[in-house]
Each structure stands twice: as structure tokens, then as C-alpha cells.
């Protein structure tokens, strides 16, 4: 998956209040539950982070929901963590290698 910067900026705009954020999260989870049934997904774990205005300050809230076999949630999260960590580590190593290659290709200034 890639990040669409315009969508990310739009989604990062803070909800007006805690009540509005709760309403948005509730409606989002209802849509996820309906999609789970429509597309026949046995178990689903959703983690959400959103920005909220609270007392003239922008704060972040993280919440989650589980659908289906609750016993598999930890396994699913552990698998996802491992995949994301491996992907992030590979991207980091690629950047380091690219930097080393550029350093090696740079003419010496002696």
C-alpha cells in the first residue's frame, strides 16, 4: 500500500470535538462490520488513529475494534507487526545502502 498525500492530509484534519470523533469512529466501525459481512472476512482487526480538537488543542486518539474470532486477534496483530517491521527494516537498509553507494561514487577531493 502507498500513502496518497492528499488523502492523508485530509484525513489528518482534526475532528471538531471528542463527540464528533466518537461519532465518526462509530460510523467507521459500522461500515467495517458491514464490509466484513459483505466480503466474507472471517476475522478483522482494525486500529484507528485520529486527530481531535480538545480544549483548543489538537490531540491524537488511537482505538481499535475486533470482529470474528477474538482468539486470533493477537496472532493477527503479531503477524502484521512482523510484516511491517520487516518492510520498514528493508526500506531503511535500502536507504543506507543507497547513501553508501553515493558516497563511494563521489569523486575524491584529495
Domain range list for the chain: 1-68, 69-104
Those residues whose C-beta lies under 8 Å from the C-beta of residue 14, and which sit 6 or more positions away, are 50, 51, 52, 53, 58
Question: Residue 21 burial (CB < 10 Å; 0-12/13-18/19+)?
Answer: buried
Asked if residue 77 lies in contact with residue 65, where contact means CB atoms within 8 angstroms, the answer is no
> Could you read off the pLDDT tens digit of each residue along the chain, which spans 110 residues?
567 999 999 999 999 999 999 999 999 999 999 999 999 999 999 999 999 999 999 999 999 999 999 999 999 999 999 999 999 999 999 999 888 777 777 766 65
Amino acid at each position: 500500500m502507498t500513502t496518497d498525500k492528499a488523502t492523508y492530509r485530509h484525513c489528518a484534519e482534526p475532528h471538531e470535538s471528542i463527540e464528533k470523533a466518537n461519532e465518526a469512529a462509530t460510523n467507521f466501525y459500522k461500515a467495517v462490520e458491514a464490509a466484513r459481512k459483505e466480503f466474507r472476512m472471517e476475522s478483522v482487526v482494525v486500529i484507528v488513529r485520529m486527530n481531535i480538537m480538545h480544549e483548543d488543542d489538537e490531540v491524537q486518539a488511537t482505538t481499535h475494534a475486533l470482529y470474528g474470532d477474538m482468539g486470533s486477534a493477537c496472532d493477527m496483530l503479531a503477524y502484521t507487526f512482523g510484516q511491517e517491521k520487516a518492510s520498514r527494516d528493508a526500506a531503511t537498509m535500502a536507504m543506507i545502502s543507497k547513501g553508501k553507494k553515493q558516497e563511494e561514487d563521489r569523486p575524491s577531493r584529495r
